Structure 1
Amino acid sequence: MEIDAYLQRIKYQGTLEPTVQTLRGLHQSHMLTTPFENLSIHYNQPIVLQEALLYDKIVRHRRGGFCYELNGLFAWLLQQLGFQVQLLSAEVAGEGGCFSPAYDHLTLLLPCLEGADWLVDVGFGDSFQLPLHLQEDIAQLGGDGRQYRLRTGVNDERDYWFLQQLKDQQWTDQYRFTLQSHPLTDFVARCHYQQTSPESHFTRNRVCSLATTIGRITLSDLRFITTIHGERQERLLTSEEAYRSALYEYFGITI
């Protein structure tokens, strides 16, 4: 890995010591520069979970990706900088208290960093911009103006941690995960499903989304959505040419 090129890609200029301060800076810089997107799935670009290929796509070609790509590559960067990193399998919350299958989401744990464990995730889309302290039932600011907390519970005779976000004065599950560490190869089968199955929401429409310092910008097929200080506006693009122009103008992406 060319660390300097990665740091330039995410516009990070801070310290590189393996500290919480560095982790916070890297995490937020990543969220503000590297889109959550599934465009490869819709432009016949197979996603292969190999670190060198992820680096080539995200750093050299200035693309984004979905969780396996963004968190998979970010974990490699953190390891290169001297952090301990564990890849965790997460299950995304659905309707009626149901959760998706194992390996549906890849999230990260940094254990024993300055005496605490940290949940790190630059690949869940519209989510926390700063790492969260893995401590139960403590409301934490996510750097995006919203509050998050973590709780523990038992489901299907397994011990889980649950990530929750405060929405309309209620704590809402985002995903659940165990603390069992996995290699990146364990996520290959589910990654293949996500990019090939008609049941996967990633195959149904194109999405490209990026956090900003004041909100978020998103392209959902031909809908261009901006959120500024919580106020959402939407406009419909008129053509594929306009779509590609918006991809380049707002996300720096050329397909």
Structure 2
Amino acid sequence: MDDQTVRRYLERIGAPAPGEPTIDLLRDLHVRHQRTVPFENLSIHLGEPIVLDEATLVGKIVDRRRGGFCYELNGLFAQLLRALGFRVTLLSAKVFTPDGALTHPFDHAVLRVDLDERFLVDVGFGAHASYPLRQDWPEPQADPGGEFLVVDAPNGDVDVLTNGTPQYRVEARARELSDFAPTCWWQQTSPDSHFTRSLTCSRLTDDGRVTISGNRLVTTAAGERTESVLAGDDAVREAYRTHFGFELDRLPTPPEPTVAA
């Protein structure tokens, strides 16, 4: 990532010119990213192909002020951090399902940043930790997003838990962003993918979250949840503009509701 792109990226997330690669800088970039760049899957429902190369991701996230899902958000954030002098490793993770099973490899992308200690960095999981998590720390870690725990798992992997609930299992092996391309394609095309069956755009706020799902606007502030229905396409477009800062020339097509067998 060249210096001009770094500057534009930092402006996108409202970050000042950085200094040395420290944990304080990492924490600041992590929370700023989540407050400005949404976790969203609109491209899938707009018919926009998701391509995991730097130029495409910069065009979408930095220039068009859009967001994305894990491969896009953590993939590009890794490039920014490396350009700022951080040692970054891209890792694959399996996600825990509600019944405690694990999904397939490459279902999620996570970053490890090595400073004096190792940190798990994740700006692409939706509602998650606001700040990086210490990987080699056996005690619970308090965060605005809840209480997080990172515990050892088989084969050198680690599990990340939120408020006692397992979220995902992170593998130890280093990966390249291109390794995630087949699963990224599956996520945006398969009828079994969570992302083809849902429509969301969500970001962290100073005291909660704001989410648009179809024509529903959901806000959480100080633990209190409010939901409203947006009346008409113009209201939906205005909500994207107001809460996420980007314009849509057309609205994504909501997925067909799932019919129980």
Q: TM-score, normalised by structure 2?
A: 0.91
Structure 2 residue 173 is matched with structure 1 residue 191: no
Give me the whole-angstrom Cα distance separating, in 2, the residues matched to 1:96 and 1:250: 34
Secondary structure of the residue aligned to 1:96 is coil
Shift, 1:240, TM fit = 2.3
Structure 2 residue 18 is matched with structure 1 residue 15: yes
Shift, 1:44, TM fit = 1.2
Q: Which of 197, 200, 205 is the matching residue for 1:207? A: 200
Percent same amino acid at aligned positions?
45
Residue 104 (structure 1) aligns with:
107
Give me the whole-angstrom Cα distance separating, in 1, the residues matched to 2:9 and 2:76: 10
Deviates more, 1:13-22 or 1:243-252: 13-22
Amino acid aligned to 1:150: V
Contact 1:136 1:152 in 2 (8 A): no
Give me the whole-angstrom Cα distance separating, in 1, the residues matched to 2:17 and 2:178: 31
- Give per-residue Cα distances to partners, 1:142-185, cap 9 Å, x unaligned: 2x25211100122xxx332000011xxxx110111111100001
Q: TM-score, normalised by structure 1?
A: 0.93
Secondary structure of the residue aligned to 2:99 is helix
Structure with more of its chain in strand, by fraction:
1
Residue 259 (structure 2) aligns with:
none
Q: Which of 40, 43, 51 is the matching residue for 1:40? A: 43
Shift, 1:137, TM fit = 2.5
Shift, 1:88, TM fit = 0.3
Residue 97 (structure 2) aligns with:
94
Structure 1 residue runs without a partner (length 5+): none
Secondary structure of the residue aligned to 1:189 is helix
Structure 2 residue 150 is matched with structure 1 residue 150: yes
Give me the whole-angstrom Cα distance separating, in 2, the residues matched to 1:212 and 1:19: 24
Q: Which runs of 4+ in 1 moved over 4 A?
A: none
Q: Over aligned residues, Cα RMSD in angstroms?
A: 1.2
Give me the whole-angstrom Cα distance separating, in 2, the residues matched to 1:125 and 1:14: 26
Pairing 1:147-186 to 2, within 5 Å after superposition? 147-154=147-154, 158-166=155-163, 171-186=164-179
Judging changes above 3 Å, is the alpha-carbon distance between structure 1 residues 14 and 128 closer, same or farther for their aligned structure 2 residues? Answer: farther
Deviates more, 1:229-238 or 1:10-19: 10-19
Judging changes above 3 Å, is the alpha-carbon distance between structure 1 residues 253 and 91 closer, same or farther for their aligned structure 2 residues? Answer: same
Give me the whole-angstrom Cα distance separating, in 2, the residues matched to 1:17 and 1:25: 13
Give me the whole-angstrom Cα distance separating, in 2, the residues matched to 1:21 and 1:14: 14
Give me the whole-angstrom Cα distance separating, in 1, the residues matched to 2:66 and 2:98: 31
Shift, 1:52, TM fit = 1.4
Contact 1:125 1:209 in 2 (8 A): yes
Contact 2:42 2:201 in 1 (8 A): yes
Amino acid aligned to 1:199: D
Structure 2 residue runs without a partner (length 5+): 249-261
Shift, 1:233, TM fit = 1.0
Amino acid aligned to 1:200: S
